[in-house]
Structures are given as structure tokens and as C-alpha cells.
Amino acid sequence: MTIPAEFGLEGHSDADVLAHAITDAILGAAALGDIGAHFPDSDPRWRDAGSLRFLKHARELAEAKGWRIVNADSTVILERPKLKDYRESIRASLAAALGLELESVSLKFKTAERVGPVGEGLSAEAQAIVLLARP
């Protein structure tokens, strides 16, 4: 989804820090390495890739190892714009990609309180924790 803002993030793919963090959390919980190993930015296959594709692919890799995702919690750290009006639609997109109910997908936002590169509006960060279980 497109969120109106005076600037955006640049990246090899779509620079979706939130989807990337959750993707890395899935890979991490399943001990499957990291996002850079699975989706190298040198690989033209992933150029301009929609990050929900990374997310779905990581989920499939974990499922192929016998894991199922129980829930996901995440935080976007961004000075502006405010994201809270988009929380439910972003959660719905993530839930669909993760194959989860809405209530199993948590999404939080915070500013960096004007401190550091994120606080100066130069960058954004995302953190994610994913619980996996073997059915």
C-alpha cells in the first residue's frame, strides 16, 4: 500500500523494512540463515521484488522444515509520517502473507524521539519476533 509522505526509503528491492524484518525473524526462528543469503541484492531475480514475496517465501521455507507460524509481533521505528491510521490494513496484508488470523499479527509504531539517524528522519528501522511451533 502507498502511504503519502514527503519522502520515502530507497532500496534494491522495495525497501519495505517491516516485511524484511518479519522475513528475517521467520528465517531466524527456523535457523535458516538470513534474508541477505536467500534474497541477495546481486540477484536480478529479486530486483524490485515486492517484499511480501520474500515473506511468503520465508514462510514456505520454514513450513518445508516442518514449522508453522504461531504469531508475529513487530515494531516500525519511524519519525514521520504517522502510520497508525494504516495499522489495520498493514496487519491484514501481513496476516494474508503469513497465513495467520489478524489477532496473531501485532504491529506497533514508535518514533526515535528525534535521536540518531532515525530520529533525524534519515532512515527507518523495524523489529520483529516470530513464534514457530512444530504442529
DSSP for 6-23 reads: S-----SS---HHHHHHH
Strand-by-strand arrangement of the 105-110 sheet: 105-110, 68-77, 125-133
5-13, 65-73, 91-99, 104-112 -> range binding ligand C5P (CB under 6 A): 104-112
Work out which of 38, 56, 106, 109 binds ligand C5P, going by CB under 6 A. 109
Question: Which C-beta is closer to ligand C5P: that of 111 or that of 123?
Answer: 111
Q: Is 68 in the site for ligand C5P (CB under 6 A)?
A: no
15-23, 30-38, 96-104, 109-117 -> range binding ligand C5P (CB under 6 A): 109-117
Minimum CB separation of residue 78 from ligand C5P in Å reads 4
Work out which of 84, 89, 114, 117 binds ligand C5P, going by CB under 6 A. 84
Orientation angle between helical segments 17-29 and 87-98, nearest 10 degrees: 40
Size of the site for ligand C5P (CB under 6 A): 7
Question: Which C-beta is closer to ligand C5P: that of 106 or that of 111?
Answer: 111
Distance separating alpha carbons of residues 118 and 130, to the nearest angstrom: 24
Work out which of 71, 110, 119, 121 binds ligand C5P, going by CB under 6 A. 110
Phi, psi angle pair for 65, to nearest 5°: -90, 5
Distance separating alpha carbons of residues 130 and 26, to the nearest angstrom: 6
End-to-end CA distance of the chain: 33
Binding site for ligand C5P (CB under 6 A): 78, 82-84, 109-111
